[in-house]
Structure 1
Amino acid sequence: MKDSLKPKMHFWQIWNMCFGFFGIQYGFGLQQANLSPIFRYHGAAEHELPILWLAGPVTGLLIQPLIGVISDGTWTRFGRRKPFFFMGALVGSIAVMFMPYVPELWMVVGLFWILDAAMNTAMEPYRALVGDKVNQQQRPLAYALQLFMVAGGQMLAGLMPLIMIAFGVSIETDGKEIPEIVKYSFVVGVVVILVSTVWSFYTTDELPPEDMEAFRANQQHTSIAHVFKELWSALLEMPKSLKAIWWVKLATWFALPMMWQYLALSIARHVYNAPTPDSPGFVEGTAQVGMAFTVMNVTTIVMALVIVRFVKYLGDANTYALFLLIGGVGFLSMQLTTDLTMTFVCMSLVGVGWAAIMTIPFIITADVTPAARVGVYMGLLNAMICLPQILEMFTIGFFYDSLLGSDPRNALALSGLLFVVGAALALRIKSKPDHLINQEVSQ
């Protein structure tokens, strides 16, 4: 449906639509805060961690563009996007339920693949749903609310082990057994994922295709071959703005996995002097990563309230660049401290960069892509984050012990340098549809 025909939505309608993202991001937050320590409890070495994280980007690369195309051509009595994010959340909650209880590393990795496949199935249609329902004037608000849900879900997931400690749940471990505080955090995750997703499913209606008869006729001719043909066509016709965003994502999304893989271990080693799972203080140290991510996400929530104003006065590209530069400074500053409070301060700066990463590309994409291809381009945009992550996960293990000195904090410094590079690349983005850019060039 054209933007001019989309009705203006009330704030709580947008809120209800975005609320399911809270649960999806709780699932991602559980991974970010707990997966590396879980791998270490099962005997994985630090240089092996990146390759064990491979499920996330691979499933995202394979699933999100396909789900984008398929959902673009789908209409059911439940809507276009809702069936996908509901089923993804349901399967993901099952994986969350069992992940901390299985006894072997290969089982954890297998459930991780299932969880990320499910979460990616849910996430892309959620992004596209905003493009479907919200007109151009309200999109910055809608994506800001999604950012709020991202931050809130990840924040609750990260804090949950510390909340469990406050309620007296055991932190005991022999270096191989996963502590109860982690196990219970995953149990809570099942409830959060299901409740938030069901809420959005039942409170949000989708806009049907303008010409249902033509849509149904086209739907009958849709096949797997058509899906891949549409993906290839979309790649060839990708707007210039999205091509420029790709280079920013190459830098920033090579950097971000290192934060999730090594921040908990860096805090344990440099703040608690606990380099291994059997070191005194390792459980407490790795649990503090939840507070670090909370600080980051609180900053992200604050920036969600003001990022629309920055975009208005600075423009999309300049806001993107400025926020990424601040995030890079946060990562690099961690080299200067072993104090927990100062580490949290550094993470607040990282949160500024994260706010831009989670909003600006989607605002630009919704503005420059044709309505009929919102789903496929949202899927391709999410797929862009997968290739650099795969590259990181295949390469870091080769130079972690040499170039990075077997020190998780050095991996965070590399993340900071890459954020600075990403900030420079963001200045090349032109956030207008191609036909308007071409008109300006010809004038």
Structure 2
Amino acid sequence: MTHKPQLSFWQIWNMCFGFLGIQFGFALQNANVSRIFQTLGADVEAIPLLWIAAPLTGLLVQPIVGYLSDRTWTGLGRRRPYFLVGAVLASLALFLFPNVPALWVAAGMLWLLDASINISMEPFRAFVGDQMAPAQRPTGYAMQSFFIGVGSVVASMLPWILQHLGVDNTAPEGKIPDTVRYAFYAGGVVLLGAITWTVVRTREYSPQELAAFDDHEPAVAEVRRDAGAGLTRWTSLAVAALVLGLAGWFVVARFGLDKQLYVLAGGIAAYGALLLLAMRTRQDGMLANIMQDLHGMPRAMRRLAVVQFFSWFALFAMWIYTTPAVTSVHYAATDTASAAYNEGANWVGVLFAAYNLFAALAAVLIPGMVRRIGLRMSHLVNALLGAAGLLSMLVIHDPKWLLLSMVGVGFAWASILSLPYALLSDSVPAAKMGVYMGIFNFFIVIPQLVAVSLLGLMVKGLFGNQPIYALLIGGVSLVLAGLCVLRVPEPAATPVPAGAAAH
């Protein structure tokens, strides 16, 4: 057994640079899709359901790409072929999205864009686990957070910047303003260019080289060995989930409940159906393997799943509702064709850029924070800062002061994008790094599906359809995420051996 060589700063830079492009695409999506939906005629309460493409594509794409990339070896490597294919597809989607003629086309285009970005993004998480020794992984994930922050700053601000450069920020009713269209075109170029840089400027260890390193098995929190014994023991669970989901679907239809509850009921039924299907397919097939690994997750991963649930529920609430919240409360505008609404929507882009700028700065500080107080306490502190940021938006009246709220959100965002992955990567075997990173995405996606099902109902039923209170829900959720991370076992530090050579 040998230690993985310590990577130099520029090697880490090159392998993470593609995340600049990935987050450029995600930031344009997060800051502008609700605006596009509203411009094309969507009601506020329907926005969460229209966003369903984002979590569902992650749920479907990431574990499949992770499973396949674990078993891929080409002249281009193990993960990099997926980087490149996803980048080409996502760039095409960014060029097409702002030219959609109708709401239903925009909803479909979101499926294409999000699926394509997920094809590129999933292997990047496993890439760090493949290439870096455990002691360097927090730095690698923090570097990804840095590029996420930098890319998002520019992407989120692009419509605002273009407006100040004289590009028209208003359009006839039902039309996308030029500021948004040109921003998406720029995003397509940046996404493809950044990912191509990482593909060209990095190399990968072969499967044989990975197996020879001393971190090819988990450092902590054993993988449950009974996972490979087959899935027949899960028959009752599968049947119960299928029956419960179908019953929920019937109740929603029978009593005319909010249609967004179909998503929650359908998700439960789909889980049961997939588990039953996995038991009836080849036990060495992709579906059976993914379901076995899902039910055989390490203890650390199970506890991190709860942290991820509350973290991403909060983030999805923020992404969906910040635009209608700020435009209605801070700009007193609900008419999407009005100058006040579009000025407020552009300011949301600036706010999103600000939290990503603060995230980039936080990414520089997080490795030092981890050295001083550990992974868990660092994540707790940052989650509480994020909660304070979201809750403060309910009491701040001047939209300019909302920039202060974004400081806390930025620290939480940088932490969410790095520290759970550092905790996870020391808990899973190297040979399954991709599939476990993909399965880990379930616990990013599931809270988003729950948010799609319940947020609109909660905001309408509990808060009189006032979107600002979705941010209250998000703040409370971040507090819970921070507290839950204290239950996750912290891996022992693995020192980098003196004189380890960079490759």
- TM-score bracket, normalised by the shorter chain, equals over 0.9
CA distance in 1, matches of 2:148, 2:404: 20
2:418 is aligned to: 359
2:137 is aligned to: 139
Shift of residue 212, structure 1, vs aligned partner: 10
Q: Tell me whether 1:426 sits opposite 2:426 in the alignment.
A: no
SS at match of 2:441: helix
1:35 is aligned to: 33
SS at match of 2:134: coil
Contact 1:23 1:192 in 2 (8 A): yes
Identify if the C-alpha distance between structure 1 residues 285 and 211 changes in structure 2 by more than 3 Å, giving closer, same or farther.
Answer: closer
Find the partner of 2:47 among 14, 38, 49. Answer: 49
Shift of residue 20, structure 1, vs aligned partner: 0.9
Post-superposition CA distance 1:349-408 (Å, at most 9, x none): 111111111111110111121111111111111221001100110222223222122112
Q: Tell me whether 1:381 sits opposite 2:440 in the alignment.
A: yes
Contact 1:329 1:416 in 2 (8 A): yes
CA distance in 2, matches of 1:113, 1:172: 26
Q: Tell me whether 1:398 sits opposite 2:467 in the alignment.
A: no
Post-superposition CA distance 1:109-130 (Å, at most 9, x none): 1111011111111111011111
1:229 is aligned to: 288
CA distance in 1, matches of 2:350, 2:363: 19
Shift of residue 14, structure 1, vs aligned partner: 1.1
Aligned residue identity for 1:56? A
Q: Which runs of 5+ in 1 are unaligned?
A: 215-222, 434-443
Post-superposition CA distance 1:303-345 (Å, at most 9, x none): 1111111112211111111111111111111111121122111
CA distance in 2, matches of 1:103, 1:324: 40
How high is the sequence identity, in percent, across the aligned residues?
38
Post-superposition CA distance 1:411-443 (Å, at most 9, x none): 11110011111111111111238xxxxxxxxxx
Larger deviation: 178-187 or 253-262?
Answer: 253-262
Aligned residue identity for 1:208? S
CA distance in 2, matches of 1:155, 1:224: 46
CA distance in 2, matches of 1:112, 1:295: 24
Q: Tell me whether 1:245 sits opposite 2:243 in the alignment.
A: no
Question: Over aligned residues, Cα RMSD in angstroms?
Answer: 1.8
SS at match of 1:176: coil
Post-superposition CA distance 1:107-157 (Å, at most 9, x none): 111111011111111111011111111112221211111001111111111
Shift of residue 410, structure 1, vs aligned partner: 0.7
1:81 is aligned to: 79
Shift of residue 213, structure 1, vs aligned partner: 12
Contact 2:309 2:443 in 1 (8 A): yes
2:260 is aligned to: none
CA distance in 1, matches of 2:144, 2:459: 35
CA distance in 1, matches of 2:283, 2:105: 31
SS at match of 2:400: helix
Q: Which runs of 5+ in 2 are unaligned?
A: 213-281, 493-503
Contact 2:39 2:173 in 1 (8 A): yes
Aligned residue identity for 2:363? A
Aligned residue identity for 2:312? W
SS at match of 2:460: coil
Find the partner of 2:359 among 291, 300, 315. Answer: 300
Identify if the C-alpha distance between structure 1 residues 212 and 141 changes in structure 2 by more than 3 Å, giving closer, same or farther.
Answer: closer
1:436 is aligned to: none
Contact 2:210 2:430 in 1 (8 A): no
Q: Tell me whether 1:270 sits opposite 2:268 in the alignment.
A: no
1:417 is aligned to: 476
SS at match of 1:401: helix
SS at match of 1:335: coil
Post-superposition CA distance 1:203-258 (Å, at most 9, x none): 111111217999xxxxxxxx895222321232232111111111111212112111
Contact 1:368 1:431 in 2 (8 A): no
Q: Tell me whether 1:260 sits opposite 2:319 in the alignment.
A: yes
Aligned residue identity for 2:143? L
SS at match of 2:19: helix
Larger deviation: 233-242 or 62-71?
Answer: 233-242
CA distance in 1, matches of 2:182, 2:412: 31
Find the partner of 1:60 among 58, 78, 83. Answer: 58
Q: Tell me whether 1:176 sits opposite 2:174 in the alignment.
A: yes
CA distance in 1, matches of 2:23, 2:441: 15
Q: How does 1:98-247 map to 2 (within 5 A)?
A: 98-210=96-208, 226-247=285-306
Find the partner of 1:368 among 427, 449, 466. Answer: 427
Identify if the C-alpha distance between structure 1 residues 5 and 180 changes in structure 2 by more than 3 Å, giving closer, same or farther.
Answer: same
Identify if the C-alpha distance between structure 1 residues 331 and 51 changes in structure 2 by more than 3 Å, giving closer, same or farther.
Answer: same
SS at match of 1:78: coil
1:220 is aligned to: none
Shift of residue 44, structure 1, vs aligned partner: 0.2
CA distance in 2, matches of 1:224, 1:301: 44
Find the partner of 1:348 among 401, 407, 416. Answer: 407
Contact 2:326 2:344 in 1 (8 A): yes
Q: Tell me whether 1:315 sits opposite 2:374 in the alignment.
A: yes
TM-score (norm 2): 0.81
SS at match of 1:402: helix
Shift of residue 347, structure 1, vs aligned partner: 1.4
Contact 1:241 1:432 in 2 (8 A): no
SS at match of 1:400: helix
CA distance in 1, matches of 2:134, 2:211: 27
Larger deviation: 25-34 or 134-143?
Answer: 134-143
TM-score (norm 1): 0.92
SS at match of 1:173: coil
Contact 1:274 1:281 in 2 (8 A): yes
1:441 is aligned to: none
SS at match of 1:168: coil
Aligned residue identity for 1:250? F
CA distance in 2, matches of 1:167, 1:96: 22
2:240 is aligned to: none
